[in-house]
Amino acid sequence: MQQLVLRHVQNYELLDSGGGVKLERFGSYILSRPDPNAIWNKRLPDTEWRKADATFTKGWDNKRVQEPWTFAYEQLSLLLKLTPFKHTGLFPEQIENWEWFGDLLRGRKDPKILNLFGYTGGATLYTAACGATVTHIDASKPAMIWAHESQEASKLTAAPIRWITDDALAFAKREVRRGNTYDGIILDPPSFGRSPKGKVFKFEEDMHPLLDTIRQLLSKEPLFILLNSYATGFSAETIKNLVADHIRGTYEYGELNIKESHTDRLLPCSQFVRVMF
C-alpha cells in the first residue's frame, strides 16, 4: 500500500490544519474550511487563520473572494467557486492521479476514456489535454455547466469531449449494450448521492454492479482503471479488495495526502486504486 503526497503545485498550498479545519491557498486566495481528518492541533497562530479571505462554518463568510476565480495548472484554467458544500470545484490531491494517467495516455494514438462521476471536469479536461477522446458523465446539471465554463477558460472547446448528464450505472449498461469500449475508465464516486431521477447511490452497495459493468467496457488493449474514493470508513485495502472481485490486472493502491507547506505533517484526503493491464 502506498502513501502518495501531492507534489509542489504553484497555485495551491496547505498552510495549516487542525481542530477539524484546514487553511489553504488557492491561487491568491486563502480559505479556511472543515476537514474531519484534521483532529490534531493547529500549528499556526490564530492571527494567520484570521487572514483567510473566506471561512466556512455553516456557510461561507466571504470577505474578499471574487467568484469565479481561476486556478491555473499546466495548460488548464479551472474556474473555482465557493459552494454550499464547502468545496471549491477542485480537489488538489487529485493532481497526483492526473499525472499518473497522463503518463499512460501521452504517446497513445487516440485513446478513449470514460470519466464517471466527473463533477466539474478537472480530470476530463486534463485527459483531453493529453490527447484523449473523453466521455464525461455526471448526474448534476450545475456541475456540468461549471465544467463547460472551465473548458472554455482552458481553450479546449475543440477537444473531443462528450458531456452527458446521466446516472453512471445506467449509462454504463447502455454502453455495454451498444458495444462501445474504452481504453481507460476513471471513477470518483460519492459515498452517497442521487441520480437525475432521484435514485440513491450507496458506495458499499452500488459499486459491485458498477464495477462488473465497466469490466465489460474495457477495450481489447486497455490502459487503466482508476478508482478514487472519499467514502468514510473504508480503507484502501478494503477498496482494492472490492475492485479485485471484478477486475484482474496489476494493482497500485493507497492513500492520497497533502503535506503542510511549513511542516512534515500529512493530511489524508482519499483512497485510490489503480489497475493497469
Domain range annotation of the chain: 2-276
Whether residue 58 is predicted with pLDDT greater than 90 in this model: the reply is: yes
pLDDT score recorded for residue 191: 72
pLDDT score recorded for residue 232: 82
Arch. (CATH architecture) of 2-276: 3-Layer(aba) Sandwich (3.40)
Whether residue 170 is predicted with pLDDT greater than 80 in this model: the reply is: yes
pLDDT higher at 231 or 97? 97
Residue at 26: amino acid letter: F
- In three-state secondary structure terms, 102 is helix
Residue 68: asked if its preceding bond is cis (omega within 30°), the reply is yes
- In three-state secondary structure terms, 144 is helix
pLDDT score recorded for residue 190: 84
Q: Which residues of 227-239 are buried (b: 16+ CB within 10 A; e: fewer)?
A: bbbebeebebeeb
Predicted confidence (pLDDT) per residue in 239-257, tens digit: 999 999 999 999 999 999 9
Whether residue 193 is predicted with pLDDT greater than 80 in this model: the reply is: no
Whether residue 17 is predicted with pLDDT greater than 70 in this model: the reply is: yes
pLDDT score recorded for residue 231: 86
What is the pairing mode between strands 54-56 and 29-34?
parallel
Residue at 69: amino acid letter: W
Whether residue 44 is predicted with pLDDT greater than 90 in this model: the reply is: yes
pLDDT score recorded for residue 201: 81
Predicted confidence (pLDDT) per residue in 106-136, tens digit: 989 999 999 999 999 999 999 999 999 999 9
Predicted TM-score (pTM) of the model is 0.96
**How confident is the model over 39-50, as a mean pLDDT?**
98
Q: How many helices (H) and strands (E) does the chain have?
A: 7, 17
pLDDT score recorded for residue 194: 67
